[in-house]
């Protein structure tokens, strides 16, 4: 008979516990009951600020959080625990239900700390903790903007959560003020020098910072609020957000007589056990031997320890916490690790503060300068992973040399300097020794193999570059071959094709490869030929190399139909063209959807309909949007200074210019770009392969960003450049990427894996250190001069048109396998078990 585990709390740590128990409980000994306060499944609270980007709560839900297919997990949403009877071993919920337990785990998390400021409970005052909190803030911000245009908000607290809240307010088009009682921002993580630089960088991003002062009082002033600061300043605002830290939620534990730590939190031992039998506490509500942790990684470690005890019956201890942090706050990279404040007796500080470059780096070392104790990095956190693993160990070089631009941390503190017990992956507590053992004894010879074998790199992913370096240090030669038919890497094949003038796959494989090729090398070579040549991708043998989407110049959908995406440069479109798209979609009965890249996608076209749809679009002035290709997709834009009162440059004009310049450019992977007209970043330029943000003096260029499964903020490559210089730098960047990247490698991973990283890229692209910039620019000029719309080229060629038939022997016959159903007044593909609507 199974036992009952009751988990009180359904946050990230509680969810991790349930996952760990279910993964280890092979025999099915435990039935798990989760009592959740919120009415939604567990979600990523760490990524709460990203909710502002889409206002899609579903995007934050953790995988498997609804437990819909797990019969041994009972999730009760919106019915939190209200009392615990440890004698009877029963939990009472808010609805009055009683739930017996054999084991009880408290994962109640924490609550926002609201200072006892007079007026803190006035309408317009909020906390920043949950999705519901953000929804309430959003509604208030919208009312404020509707009421008088430019609105402002005050964030009380300048720590991690406070700066997250400030970013959220800024993304809601409010002007944020941050009030911090300490003399610097992020006082728990960084020092005065790092805080000063952070304040300067944040201020440049339209956030006003007030440090070394408190919020003395909040009063109403008509429909607005006034925050009176301790330094005598009065701040007018439309709303106030308290984000001044957290406190453990230990109320339930107190009420049932569990022991509470001196500073709050449920007191537990190193096995996360309370003083009461079969009752555990984990996460932010727990005080492990008196210490609470406000980070998710220690909570995960506690969850794993408790899960191991419950499923194995053997003791398992909380291994301690790595409280290092690496974050991007308001676009500024910040990291701290170890003894960041030099609190160790005799500790020395070595600092490099480069105000021009906007970077601050500090190492805290032992009194003899040989052992690393901790550090702070602001503006550039590239060395974080390596330095963090060296804490408590001997430094391989003089600390000043390590911090110098060409010093060890920039590339010389290699993985060989790390001891076997150094933790490479803090998310899953994987050491260097475990990884090298997996290589030497487990036969792992790739990063993906190490991920599967050790779990390293499967959390936040920040340690993945170190995994590759560890493979190299273990003597594993990682093949760069495109596939078994070509021993060369993609970049080597690019140079071969460029240098020899080879124009076909058959000639290339005959001279430099072997066999007949495969589904890996054929599309890769097709992309190279398209990048360097002027022939249409469906000319001659080129057509046989293409993936399905490229072969049909459209994206195949789940039911065998295709979608058609015309280009809309910069998202700017005339009413006449909007009407044309609508008429075409109506004529061919296509499902329409506005994409995230500011275009209109039309779904449900059969292959034989594609040319007729293209003809209508071409006649209306459209061309292919290359949504099907590894090529430039879109250059997204805000409305810029033409309409927006905050805009400082013509973002739409620049976006249109860039999209028309790079349209049709084939590359190792898809390219996405954006142009924002001011620092408010409405076009989300810092999540693109290349992004442009307007400044008062010109443009800032960011590169190497992307969204998707492993999002990455772009890095600042150049600041305040004029339009001509901007275009020239993008020409160089894109062509250098096309020339050197691996097959299907996005710019984000390309930049991360580049030796020397951003600094090397800057030296090549901006300083022309390799002397190739003229060549890169010439290649781009050739592309621009020879651009031809691929749809129009098909329409004028009968041989190419002949490819677009559903059935060779019956070109006009509809495909009987395609059927649709109606959903929200549009047709969509039939799913299993849904009623059909005949295609014909």
Fold held by 629-788: Sulfite Reductase Hemoprotein; domain 1 (3.30.413)
Query: Tokens 């404040």, residue?
Result: 341
Give residue 549's pLDDT.
84
Angle at 498 between CA 492 and CA 504, to 5 degrees: 95
The mean pLDDT value of the chain amounts to 87
Annotated binding site for siroheme: 682
Q: What is the mean pLDDT of residues 372-398?
A: 83
CB atoms within 10 A of CB 294: 19
Range with lowest mean pLDDT among 105-109, 140-144, 579-583 = 140-144
- The distance of Cα 232 from the centroid of its chain, to the nearest Å, equals 40
Top pLDDT among 136 and 533 is at 136
Give residue 333's pLDDT.
81
3-state secondary structure string, 638-682?
A: CCHHHCCCCCCCCHHHHHHHHHHHHCCCECCCCEEEEEECCCCCC
SS3 685: helix
Band (708; pLDDT cuts 50, 70, 90)? low
Say if residues 551 and 523 touch (Cβ distance below 8 Å): no
Fold held by 3-111+248-312: FAD/NAD(P)-binding domain (3.50.50)
Top pLDDT among 395 and 328 is at 395
Phi, psi of 542 (to 5 degrees): -55, -35
The architecture (CATH level 2) of 416-478 comes to: Orthogonal Bundle (1.10)
Range with lowest mean pLDDT among 274-288, 317-331, 744-758 = 317-331
Q: What is the CA radius of gyration of the chain?
A: 29
Range with lowest mean pLDDT among 7-21, 186-200, 755-769 = 186-200
**Residue intervals in the chain for CATH 1.10.10.1100:** 416-478
**Residue intervals in the chain for CATH 3.50.50.60:** 3-111+248-312, 125-244
325-329 β-sheet, strand order: 325-329, 332-338, 372-378, 359-365, 348-354
Give residue 626's pLDDT.
94
Beta strands 125-127; 110-112: pairing state: unpaired
> Which bin fits 273, alpha (ψ -120 to 50), beta or left (φ > 0)?
beta
Annotated binding site for [4Fe-4S] cluster: 638, 644, 678, 682
Give residue 331's pLDDT.
66
Q: What is the mean pLDDT of residues 383-401?
A: 80
Give residue 812's pLDDT.
55
Report whether pLDDT(807) > 60: no
What is the C-alpha to C-alpha distance for residues 457 and 618, in angstroms, rounded to an integer? 47
What is the C-alpha to C-alpha distance for residues 777 and 98, in angstroms, rounded to an integer? 72
3-state secondary structure string, 562-574?
A: EEECECCHHHCCC
Give residue 814's pLDDT.
56
Range with lowest mean pLDDT among 135-139, 175-179, 482-486, 785-789 = 482-486
Report whether pLDDT(192) > 80: yes
Q: What DSSP string runs through 100-156?
A: E-SEEEE---EEE-----TTTTSTTEEE-SSHHHHHHHHHHHHHHHHHHSSEEEEEE
- The tens digit of pLDDT for each residue in 716-734 reads 999 999 999 999 999 999 9
What is the C-alpha to C-alpha distance for residues 544 and 548, in angstroms, rounded to an integer? 10
% of the chain at pLDDT higher than 90: 52
Report whether pLDDT(410) > 50: no
Range with lowest mean pLDDT among 212-226, 406-420, 597-611 = 406-420
What is the C-alpha to C-alpha distance for residues 693 and 443, in angstroms, rounded to an integer? 47
Annotated binding site: 638, 644, 678, 682
Give residue 637's pLDDT.
96
Q: Is the pTM of this model over 0.95?
A: no
What is the C-alpha to C-alpha distance for residues 466 and 443, in angstroms, rounded to an integer? 18
3-state secondary structure string, 766-827?
A: CCCCCCCHHHHHHHHHHHHHHCCCHHHHHHCCHHHHCCCCCCCCCCCCCCCCCEEEEECCEE
Report whether pLDDT(409) > 50: no
Report whether pLDDT(407) > 60: no
Sign of CA dihedral 132, 138, 140, 143: negative
Q: What is the mean pLDDT of residues 452-481?
A: 74
3-state secondary structure string, 751-777?
A: HHHCCCHHHHHHHHHCCCCCCCHHHHH
Q: What DSSP string runs through 235-263?
A: EEESEEEE-S-EEE--HHHHHTT--B-TT
**Residue intervals in the chain for CATH 3.30.413.10:** 629-788
- The tens digit of pLDDT for each residue in 139-174 reads 999 888 876 666 899 999 998 889 889 988 988 888
- The tens digit of pLDDT for each residue in 322-347 reads 777 777 667 678 888 888 888 899 99
Nearest alpha-carbon partner for 282 in 314, 256, 317: 317
Phi, psi of 326 (to 5 degrees): -135, 115
Give residue 320's pLDDT.
80
- The tens digit of pLDDT for each residue in 489-531 reads 898 999 999 889 898 999 999 999 988 888 788 889 999 998 8
Give residue 465's pLDDT.
65
SS3 76: strand
Report whether pLDDT(824) > 50: yes
Give residue 838's pLDDT.
44
The architecture (CATH level 2) of 125-244 comes to: 3-Layer(bba) Sandwich (3.50)
Top pLDDT among 821 and 367 is at 367
Nearest alpha-carbon partner for 564 in 556, 578, 554, 551: 554
């Amino acid at each position: 008979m199974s036992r009952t585990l009751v988990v009180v709390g359904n946050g990230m740590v509680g969810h991790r516990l349930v996952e760990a128990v279910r993964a280890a409980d092979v025999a099915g000994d435990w039935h798990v009951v989760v009592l959740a306060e919120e009415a939604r499944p567990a979600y990523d609270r760490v990524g709460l600020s990203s909710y502002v980007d889409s206002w899609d709560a579903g995007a934050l839900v953790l995988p498997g959080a609804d437990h819909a297919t797990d019969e041994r997990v009972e999730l009760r949403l919106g019915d939190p625990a209200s009392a615990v009877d440890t004698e009877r071993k029963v939990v009472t919920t808010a609805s009055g239900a009683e739930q017996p337990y054999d084991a009880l785990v408290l994962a109640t998390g924490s609550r926002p700390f609201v200072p006892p400021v007079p007026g803190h409970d006035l309408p317009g005052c909020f906390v920043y903790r949950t999705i519901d909190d953000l929804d309430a803030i959003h509604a208030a911000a919208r009312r404020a903007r509707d009421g008088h245009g430019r609105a402002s908000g005050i964030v009380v607290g300048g720590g991690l959560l406070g700066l997250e809240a400030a970013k959220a307010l800024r993304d809601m088009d409010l002007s944020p003020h941050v009030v911090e009682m300490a003399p610097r921002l992020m006082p728990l993580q960084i020092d005065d020098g790092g805080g000063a630089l952070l304040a300067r960088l944040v201020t440049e991003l339209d956030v006003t910072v007030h440090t070394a002062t408190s919020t003395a009082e909040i009063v109403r002033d008509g429909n607005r609020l006034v925050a009176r600061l301790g330094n005598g300043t009065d701040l007018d605002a439309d709303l106030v957000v308290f984000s001044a830290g957290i406190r453990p939620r230990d109320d339930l534990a107190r009420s049932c007589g569990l022991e509470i730590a001196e500073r709050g939190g449920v007191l537990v031992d190193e096995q996360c056990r309370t003083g009461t039998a079969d009752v555990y506490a984990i996460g932010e509500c727990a005080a492990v031997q008196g210490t609470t942790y406000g980070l998710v990684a220690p909570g995960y470690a506690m969850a794993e320890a408790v899960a191991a005890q419950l499923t194995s019956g053997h003791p398992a201890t909380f291994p301690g916490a790595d409280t290092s942090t690496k974050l991007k706050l308001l676009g500024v990279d910040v990291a701290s690790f170890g003894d960041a404040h030099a609190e160790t007796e005799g500790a020395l500080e070595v600092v490099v503060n480069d105000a021009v470059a906007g970077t601050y780096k500090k190492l805290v070392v032992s009194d003899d300068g040989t052992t690393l104790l901790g550090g702070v990095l602001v503006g550039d956190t590239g060395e974080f992973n390596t330095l963090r693993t060296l804490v408590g160990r001997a430094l391989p070089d003089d600390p000043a040399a390590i911090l110098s631009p060409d010093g060890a941390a920039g590339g010389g503190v290699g993985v060989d300097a790390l001891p076997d017990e150094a933790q490479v992956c803090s998310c899953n507590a994987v050491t260097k020794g475990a990884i090298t053992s997996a290589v030497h004894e487990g036969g792992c010879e790739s990063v993906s193999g190490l991920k599967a074998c050790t779990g390293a790199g499967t959390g936040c992913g920040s340690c993945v570059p170190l995994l590759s370096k560890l493979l190299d240090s273990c003597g594993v030669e990682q093949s760069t071959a495109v596939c078994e038919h070509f021993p060369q890497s993609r970049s080597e094949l690019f140079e071969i094709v460029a240098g020899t003038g080879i124009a076909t796959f058959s000639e290339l494989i005959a001279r430099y490869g072997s066999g007949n090729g495969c589904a890996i090398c054929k599309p890769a070579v097709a992309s190279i030929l398209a990048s360097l040549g002027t022939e249409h991708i469906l000319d001659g043998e080129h057509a046989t190399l293409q993936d399905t989407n490229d072969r049909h110049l459209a994206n195949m959908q789940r039911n065998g139909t295709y979608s058609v995406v015309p280009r809309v440069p910069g998202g700017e479109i005339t009413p006449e063209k909007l009407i044309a798209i609508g008429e075409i979609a109506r004529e061919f009965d296509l499902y329409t959807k506005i994409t995230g890249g500011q275009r209109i996608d039309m779904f449900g076209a059969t292959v034989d309909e594609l040319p007729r749809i293209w003809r209508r679009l071409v006649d209306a002035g459209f061309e292919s949007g290359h949504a099907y290709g590894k090529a430039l997709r879109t250059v997204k834009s805000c409305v810029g200074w033409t309409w927006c009162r905050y805009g400082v440059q013509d973002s739409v004009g620049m976006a249109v210019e860039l999209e028309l310049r790079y349209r049709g450019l084939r590359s190792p992977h898809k390219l996405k770009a954006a142009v924002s007209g001011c620092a408010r970043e409405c076009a989300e330029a810092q999540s693109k392969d290349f992004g442009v943000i307007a400044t008062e003096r010109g443009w800032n260029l960011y590169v190497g960003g992307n969204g998707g499964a492993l999002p990455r903020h772009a890095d600042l490559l150049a600041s305040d450049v004029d339009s001509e210089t901007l275009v020239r730098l993008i020409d160089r960047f894109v062509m250098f990427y096309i020339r050197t990247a691996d097959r299907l490698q996005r710019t984000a991973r390309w930049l991360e894996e580049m030796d020397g990283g951003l600094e090397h890229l800057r030296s090549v692209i901006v300083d022309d250190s390799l002397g190739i910039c003229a060549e890169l620019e010439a290649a781009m000029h050739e592309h621009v001069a020879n651009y031809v719309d691929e749809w129009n080229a098909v329409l004028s060629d009968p041989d190419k048109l002949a490819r677009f038939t559903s059935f060779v022997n019956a070109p006009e016959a509809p495909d009987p396998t395609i059927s649709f159903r109606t959903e929200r007044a549009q047709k969509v593909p039939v799913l299993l078990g849904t009623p059909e609507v005949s295609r014909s």
